[in-house]
Every structure is written in structure tokens, then in C-alpha cells.
Amino acid sequence: MSVRRLAEDQFQPAAFAFNQENAVWAEKTIKKYPEGRQQSAIIPLMMRAQEQDGWVTKAAIEKIADMLDMAYIRALEVATFYTQFQLHPVGSRAHIQVCGTTPCMLRGAEGLVKVCKSKIADYALERNAEGTLSWEEVECQGACVNAPMVVIGKDTYEDLTPERLEEIIDAFVAGKGSEVPTGPQIDRIFSAPEGGLTSLLDSPATKTKKKTGAKAAAETVALPPSEAAKPVSSDAETNPALKSPADGKTALPTEHPKAAPAKKDNTVVGDKAE
């Protein structure tokens, strides 16, 4: 993993403050966490600071750390760990993130990178001459089925060709980026097949109304009770008694009957009989 550092001092503003709307939002967000656990709000607060200014400044990191009563180094650790936080100035109108993971690469992401190099800057995270546009290559953004794609702000632009990306960049240069439709840039809705559905075209079956009341009861046919299955052989293993618990009353089958007890011998010894 590459080392991530803050931008040079020449780019850092002297101070940071949330605007009125974001300040109210930040206070509500902090209150969502139990007392003593407010530091858990650091990621949403940093993301809101980035949305406000376009990137996360040193002043923003320190301001948020003060709001959450945490050491500056702990806040800095969070900011430098997550690559979603921009630590350098980016384009004021658009920062284009080109997905370069395997599905997008196989579908033509290299062509999109070439467009960014030719129309914005030769190297990632550099701004154009006007400071309005910048770009970088990122890992998977979760729209593999519509590869290749880019992310601009919170919006995704999918199923791109180099020519279509050029048109999108030109729109942002002209200040008309909000007019560009997001999502797939071809004839499909989200991840549906291009040109529309090709299967599951049958109309849904009509539902029949369920009969209720006396009429339904009259049509109900009583089913006869089922009979227990009977053994198909006379083997000892099929005797139900073998499967019954020994309760002292059930006679278990035996292979040979017990022999009758022997009669006592009434031999007379002297005057007594034994």
C-alpha cells in the first residue's frame, strides 16, 4: 500500500469550518453515539468535510478532532488510511475516478484512462490548467456488470466508451455536468439486458379469487383417514413390538419358547418331605 501524506503547506488553508447546514448536521450526527463514544463519528464528519471543500485539509482534520475530543494523530490515522479521502486538492467541478479492476480493465478501462490523460492531465491526482478537473484510477466501485465505469462525486457513469467519456468531460468543462444522465450510458436500465428484456416476457398469470363462507365449505370433500402401513413380511424385524418401549407388559418375541420349570422331587427323608 502506498504511503499517503497530507498536501504541502502551500495548498493548506489557514482554517476550516463547517457551513451552517453542515454544522447542524454534524451536531446531530455526533449525538447519535453514546456518551464517550463520539469518536465513532469521525468518518461521516470527514466525508462531509470533503463534500463541502472537495478534499480533506489539515485544518479540517484538526477541527473534527477537536469536535470529537480526540488526539490529532488519531484523526490523521483515519484520514490517511482510507483512500476515499482526498488529501490533495482536486478539480473544483469534477474529480473523475476510473475503475481499473479486472472486469473494467477487460472491458476497456485503459481507453478511459487515456482519455483522462489527454483531456485533463498526464498524471493521476493532477488538475487541469484551470483547476476544474482531475482524475485518478481506483479499485472496484461495485458496478462490474456495467463495466467499464467511472465515479464523479457520488454518481456513477457506466457502460462507457472513450468517446462517451470525452462527451461527459466536455459537459463538466462547460459547467453542464448536472445535465449528464447518470448510470448506464447505453440502451439499458441499470443491469438489465441492452435493448430491453429478452426472456421472462410472458404476462403474469391471473390470480383466482379464493372462495369463502358456506359455498367453500359445501365444496370441501372430506378425505378418509389414512391407514397405518402394514408389514409386508413376517420377519421378526418387522414386528411392531420390537419398536415399542419395554413397559413390562409388551411381550417381546423370542426364537425359542422358555422351557417349563422342573417339578420338585417329593422324596421323603425320614418323616419330612423335601
Which DSSP category does 71 fall into?
Answer: -
Domain count within the chain: 2
Q: Are 149 and 143 in contact (CB under 8 A)?
A: yes
Taking residues 141-156, report their average pLDDT: 94
The 3-state secondary structure of 225-254, one letter per residue: CCCCCCCCCCCHHHCHHHHCCCCCCCCCCC
Q: Which of 86-95, 158-167, 198-207 has the lowest average pLDDT?
A: 198-207
Q: Are 54 and 90 in contact (CB under 8 A)?
A: yes
What CATH number should be reported for the domain holding residue 179?
Answer: 3.40.30.10
* 52 lies in the same domain as 105: no
In a domain, 18, yes or no: yes
Our measurement of the distance from residue 85's CA atom to the centroid of its chain's CA atoms, rounded to an integer in Å, reads 21
Alpha carbon distance 223, 238 (integer Å): 29
* 112 lies in the same domain as 71: no
Q: Which of 132-136, 152-156, 251-255 has the lowest average pLDDT?
A: 251-255
In a domain, 265, yes or no: no
pTM over 0.75: no
In a domain, 63, yes or no: yes
Domain that holds residue 14: 9-81
Nearest to 70 by CA among 35, 95, 97, 40: 40
In a domain, 231, yes or no: no
251-259, Cβ contacts within 8 angstroms, sequence gap of 24 or more: none
Q: Are 104 and 144 in contact (CB under 8 A)?
A: yes
* 168 lies in the same domain as 107: yes
Alpha carbon distance 161, 184 (integer Å): 11
For residue 162, count CB atoms less than 10 angstroms from its CB and return exposed for 0-12, middle for 13-18, buried for 19 or more.
Answer: middle
Q: Would the pLDDT of 257 be above 60?
A: no
Note the pLDDT of residue 191.
80
In a domain, 26, yes or no: yes
Q: Are 91 and 132 in contact (CB under 8 A)?
A: yes
Q: Would the pLDDT of 253 be above 90?
A: no
* 69 lies in the same domain as 121: no
Q: Would the pLDDT of 20 be above 80?
A: yes
Alpha carbon distance 96, 178 (integer Å): 14
Which DSSP category does 220 fall into?
Answer: P
Alpha carbon distance 182, 172 (integer Å): 13
* 122 lies in the same domain as 43: no
Which DSSP category does 127 fall into?
Answer: B
Nearest to 7 by CA among 46, 55, 47: 55
In a domain, 30, yes or no: yes
Alpha carbon distance 186, 147 (integer Å): 12
* 16 lies in the same domain as 56: yes
What CATH number should be reported for the domain holding residue 77?
Answer: 1.10.10.1590
On average, the pLDDT of the chain sits at: 84
Domain boundary among 144, 159, 184: 184
* 123 lies in the same domain as 163: yes
Alpha carbon separation from 115 to 63, 103, 106, 122, 168 (Å, rounded): 38, 19, 17, 10, 11
Q: Would the pLDDT of 65 be above 60?
A: yes
Q: For 22-63, how does the pLDDT look when each residue is reduced to its tens digit (9 = 90+)?
A: 999 999 999 999 999 999 999 999 999 999 999 999 999 999
* 127 lies in the same domain as 50: no
In a domain, 176, yes or no: yes
In a domain, 55, yes or no: yes
* 99 lies in the same domain as 77: no
**Other beta carbons less than 10 A from residue 29's beta carbon:** 16
